[in-house]
């Protein structure tokens, strides 16, 4: 067991952990099937790692200890990572009084083009940042400063993918430069000027949440036009596998043009700790909770909502991609 442990008294966090574990477990079992059919052994292995993530929990002295898979498709590990980024970046970003939020997209594409586009977008973005970094070095301009995340949505009606960058920049001028460079460097048939968006940030915390949210949406409305009506959402597993595969080994979240003044949240210590007076808990899928091996108690007491139960049992689509 590693780390200093999470606080057991935080009931809400425990419930949220159970919910995320339930979603991830069901999703990942289907991802394993999909990746097996596609004969992608490395992904099958990674998905199994996530399946085992935090199956065993040890509690001691009000703290929870477990091992984490740290994979991108694990919603439990992702939420921990998000919290770390928020803690590290928010104090600094709060000083950017003229911050702008920029969305850079390309036109929707079919699955087979996704890896090439993800590569191309990252490469092009890197080139733009480099150009201004060099200008700054030669004292002929300034470096662009911001944070960015790469995301991808799936459109189940058209069966297309929409990879895009969410970017927070220090000021409007930097946003305009990025936008102009993006539109000039990408052939017009691949990008539409109207699909790009540059808006002033009123709430920097909300903007940062938007950026660290996720690399891909887990739940998708079957038809976006119907989203105003109360429609059930689906998990499109094969499409998710395509997105995870295209983003494998890529830096989804990154900063450019600045360094953080100091590391505010230290990485969890990797010391091996020997725990005495500890209790053991095992994840029990039927209960969507961890069960104490000795007493039979449940850890979080979390109850799945009917909507989530319905999605996890009836709305997993493994074909559409
Ligand atoms: Zn995990």
Q: How far is the CA of 77 from the centre of ligand 1 (A)?
A: 4
* Residue 224 confidence (pLDDT) above 90: no
* DSSP secondary structure code for residue 108 in this structure: -
Q: Which of 234, 256, 278 is the last residue of a domain?
A: 256
228 shares a domain with 91: yes
Q: Are residues 45 and 104 in the same domain?
A: no
pLDDT of 264 > 80? The answer is no
* Strand bridging mode 279-284 / 289-292: antiparallel
Q: For residues 113 and 252, state if they share a domain.
A: yes
Instruction: List the beta bridge partners of residue 149.
Output: 166, 253
My answer on whether 221 and 94 are in the same domain is yes
141 in a domain, yes or no?
yes
* Residues 306 and 235 both lie in one domain: no
Are 89 and 76 within one domain?
no
Q: Give the tens place of pLDDT for each residue, 301-317.
A: 999 999 899 999 999 99
Distance 259 CA to ligand 1 centre (A): 28
Q: Is residue 35 part of a domain?
A: yes
Residues 130 and 200 reside in one and the same domain: yes
Task: Indicate whether 262 belongs to any domain.
Answer: no
What the block records as the tokens of 132 is 């201004």
* pTM > 0.75: yes or no: yes
Residue 1 lies in a domain: no
User: Rounded to the nearest whole angstrom, what is the distance from the C-alpha of residue 54 to the centroid of ligand 1?
Assistant: 7
Contact 166, 100 (CB under 8 A): no
- Say if strands 316-317 and 235-236 run parallel, antiparallel, or are unpaired: parallel
Q: What's the CA-to-centroid distance between 70 and ligand 1, angstroms?
A: 5
CB 87 within 8 A of CB 162: no
Owning domain of residue 69: 6-80+268-317
Query: Is 152's pLDDT higher than 90?
Result: yes
Q: How far is the CA of 21 from the centre of ligand 1 (A)?
A: 8
Distance 83 CA to ligand 1 centre (A): 14
Q: What is the distance between the alpha carbons of residues 44 and 34, in angstroms, rounded to a whole number?
A: 9
Q: Which two structure tokens, joined as six digits, stand for 30?
A: 């289907």
C-beta of residue 197 within 8 angstroms of C-beta of residue 135? no
In terms of domains, do 42 and 102 share one?
no
Is 261 inside any structural domain? Answer: no
Query: In angstroms, what is the span from residue 181 Cα to ligand 1's centroid?
Result: 37
3-state secondary structure of 70: coil
**Least confident interval from 122-131, 158-167, 247-256, 265-274:** 265-274
Is residue 263 included in any domain, yes or no? no
State which of 233, 256, 279 marks the end of a domain: 256
Q: In this structure, are 208 and 294 located in the same domain?
A: no
Task: Classify residue 172: in a domain, yes or no.
Answer: yes
Query: What percent of the chain shows pLDDT beyond 70?
Result: 90
- Residues with Cβ within 8 Å of 22's Cβ and at least 6 positions away in sequence, in order, are 288, 304, 308, 312
CA 182 to chain centre: 24
Q: Answer yes or no: do 183 and 169 share one domain.
A: yes
Q: Which two tokens stand for residue 107?
A: 């036109």
Residues 6+ apart with CB under 8 A from 163: 105, 106, 109, 114, 117, 118, 121, 150, 151, 152, 246
Mean pLDDT for the stretch of residues 226-230: 56
| CA 63/CA 7 separation, integer angstroms | 5
Looking at the structure, do residues 177 and 110 belong to the same domain, yes or no? yes
pLDDT in tens, 61-94: 888 999 999 998 899 998 888 888 999 999 999 9
Question: For 87-108, b where at least 16 C-beta lie within 10 A, e where not — what string?
Answer: ebbeebbeebeebbbbbbbbeb
Question: Which of 229, 256, 283 lies at the terminal end of a domain, its last residue?
Answer: 256
Tell whether 102 and 52 lie within a shared domain. no
Ligand 1 center to residue 79 CA distance, Å? Answer: 9
Question: How many angstroms is it from 74 CA to the middle of ligand 1?
Answer: 5
Task: Determine the distance separating the centroid of ligand 1 and the alpha carbon of 68, expressed in angstroms.
Answer: 5
> What's the 114 CA to ligand 1 centre distance in angstroms?
25
Section 189-209 average pLDDT: 91
Q: Which residue, among 20, 25, 9, 15, has the nearest Cα to 64 in the 3D structure?
A: 9
98 alpha carbon – ligand 1 mean position (Å): 36
Using the mean position of ligand 1's atoms as its centre, give its distance from the Cα of residue 184 in Å: 40
In a domain, 231, yes or no: yes
Cα 242 to ligand 1 centre (Å): 19
Give the total number of structural domains in the chain: 2
Residue by residue, DSSP assigns 223-278 as -GGGTTS----BEEHHHHHHHHHHHTTS-SEEEES---SS-SSPPPP--B---SS-
pLDDT band with cut points at 50, 70 and 90 for residue 215:
low
């Amino acid at each position: 067991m590693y780390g200093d442990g999470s606080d057991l008294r935080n009931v809400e966090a425990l419930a949220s952990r159970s919910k995320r574990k339930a979603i991830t477990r069901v999703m990942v079992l289907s991802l394993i099937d999909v990746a097996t059919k596609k004969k992608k052994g490395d992904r099958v292995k990674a998905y199994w790692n996530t399946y085992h993530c935090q199956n065993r929990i040890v509690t001691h002295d009000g703290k929870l200890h477990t091992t984490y898979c740290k994979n991108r498709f694990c919603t439990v590990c992702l939420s921990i990572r998000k919290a770390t980024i928020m803690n590290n970046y928010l104090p600094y970003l709060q000083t950017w009084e003229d911050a702008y939020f920029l969305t850079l997209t390309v036109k929707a594409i079919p699955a087979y083009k996704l890896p090439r586009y993800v590569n191309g977008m990252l490469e092009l973005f890197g080139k733009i940042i480099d150009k201004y970094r060099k200008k700054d070095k030669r004292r002929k301009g300034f470096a662009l400063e911001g944070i960015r995340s790469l995301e991808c949505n799936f459109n189940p009606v058209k069966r297309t993918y929409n990879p895009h960058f969410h970017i927070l920049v220090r000021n409007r001028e930097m946003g305009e430069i990025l936008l102009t460079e993006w539109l000039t460097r990408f052939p017009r048939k691949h990008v539409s000027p109207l699909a790009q968006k540059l808006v002033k940030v009123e709430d920097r915390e909300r903007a940062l949440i938007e950026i660290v949210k996720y690399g891909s949406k887990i739940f998708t409305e079957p038809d976006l036009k119907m989203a105003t009506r109360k429609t059930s959402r689906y998990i499109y597993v094969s499409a998710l596998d395509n997105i995870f595969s295209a983003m494998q080994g890529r830096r989804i979240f990154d900063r450019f043009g600045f360094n953080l003044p100091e590391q505010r949240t230290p990485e969890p210590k990797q010391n091996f700790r020997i725990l005495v007076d500890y209790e053991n808990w095992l994840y029990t899928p039927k209960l969507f909770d961890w069960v104490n091996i000795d007493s039979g108690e449940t850890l979080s007491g979390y109850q799945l909502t009917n909507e989530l139960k319905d999605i996890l049992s009836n709305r997993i689509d493994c074909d559409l991609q």
